[in-house]
Structure 1
């Protein structure tokens, strides 16, 4: 029986490299995978899943009107697994489409993404993934300032932490840092370990 998996973690927790590894493992066994990523994440180009370690692959971009279920259903060769990166950027209808892939097509779906935004609130995609996923797994990483588990995302503008503003602003390590709760509320100066 196929299941919907949501694997979440803070930034730099190795989510994308894990997705790329899962895709590689399926394909090395001669099995087909379909990889999707929200089009809004264009840091490495639209329709690219890329890890900070330098490995990447093409993916099917998900726009607001994309019907993921219809795309998978329309494939001549049924995939053995569907993988989705940056699941936090999905909308409610996308998560519903993923559940249909699992329930009606019996294809496992593994989604990787962030749990919370820099305001310490759930993303829309995360909210619906948490309510629909069969299995929820945390991918852990450590705070950039100490050795505690990173549970929050700290956003910087001009070297200063910010807690308000646009919820979605695509950026990397120069904009966001994964931190523990203590350092989210009381961040030290920009010098990081």
Structure 2
């Protein structure tokens, strides 16, 4: 029985690395994993999932307007899809999460989503909120704060390395823009 999985964490926990390892495992067994990433996340290149440790793979892109069920259905007509792996799943819409659930429920394709749970203000992303509500399996991928405690929050930094408390929910960036903190240091706005 196929399931919808949500692997979540704060920044820099290795979500993309785990996704790429899962894709490799499918490939090694002669199976086809369809990789997907949000169109506007081009840090690794357009339509490319890249990890901080140097692993990378090409991926199909999705926008908020796309029907991901139909997309996978079309790909599956040409090449059987054994699994769908979605990076940056926080950028999925609520409707797209339900479409992914439909892939598991109706087509029997396992769907593994990887993404942030909350934004820099501690608010759930719409895609993450829906995944937390409907996924069959939830798994936290852990990383640590500068103090050594488990990091569960993400802080956004300005160009001078100071914590930003206001702004758009989505700003694409890496280590220069975001830092993972434990709840205590996130609440206090303390960077080492």
- What TM-score range do you get, normalising by the shorter chain? over 0.9
Alpha-carbon offset, residue 162 of structure 1: 1.3
Q: Distance in 1 between matches of 2:48 and 2:99?
A: 21
Question: Mean alpha-carbon deviation: is it higher for 32-41 or for 68-77?
Answer: 68-77
What's 1:166 paired with? 168
The one of 131, 135, 138 equivalent to 1:136 is 138
What's 2:18 paired with? 18
Q: Distance in 1 between matches of 2:128 and 2:190?
A: 29
Question: SS in structure 2 opposite 1:23?
Answer: helix
Question: SS in structure 2 opposite 1:18?
Answer: helix
Aligned pairs for 1:100-139 within 5 A: 100-139=102-141
Question: SS in structure 2 opposite 1:49?
Answer: strand
Residues 72 and 78 in structure 1, CA contact (< 8 A), matched pair in contact too: no
Give the aligned length. 189
Q: Could you give the per-residue CA deviations for residues 132-181 of structure 1, whole angstroms, max 9, x where no partner exists? A: 100111000100x2100001001111221111111100011111000001
Question: SS in structure 1 opposite 2:54?
Answer: coil
Q: Distance in 2 between matches of 1:15 and 1:3?
A: 18
Which 5+ residue runs of structure 2 have no aligned equivalent? none
Cα distance change on mapping 1:160 and 1:48 into 2, 3 Å:
same
Alpha-carbon offset, residue 73 of structure 1: 1.2
Q: Distance in 2 between matches of 1:91 and 1:81?
A: 20
TM-score by length of 1: 0.95
Q: Distance in 1 between matches of 2:100 and 2:46?
A: 21
Give RMSD over aligned pairs: 1.1
Alpha-carbon offset, residue 44 of structure 1: 1.7
Alpha-carbon offset, residue 130 of structure 1: 0.8
Q: Distance in 1 between matches of 2:62 and 2:28?
A: 26
Alpha-carbon offset, residue 88 of structure 1: 0.4
Q: Distance in 2 between matches of 1:99 and 1:187?
A: 37
The one of 165, 174, 177 equivalent to 1:175 is 177
Q: Could you give the per-residue CA deviations for residues 51-86 of structure 1, whole angstroms, max 9, x where no partner exists? A: 011111110000122121112112223211110000
Residues 116 and 122 in structure 1, CA contact (< 8 A), matched pair in contact too: yes
What's 2:2 paired with? 2
Q: Distance in 2 between matches of 1:188 and 1:8?
A: 23
Residues 48 and 56 in structure 1, CA contact (< 8 A), matched pair in contact too: yes
Which 5+ residue runs of structure 1 have no aligned equivalent? none
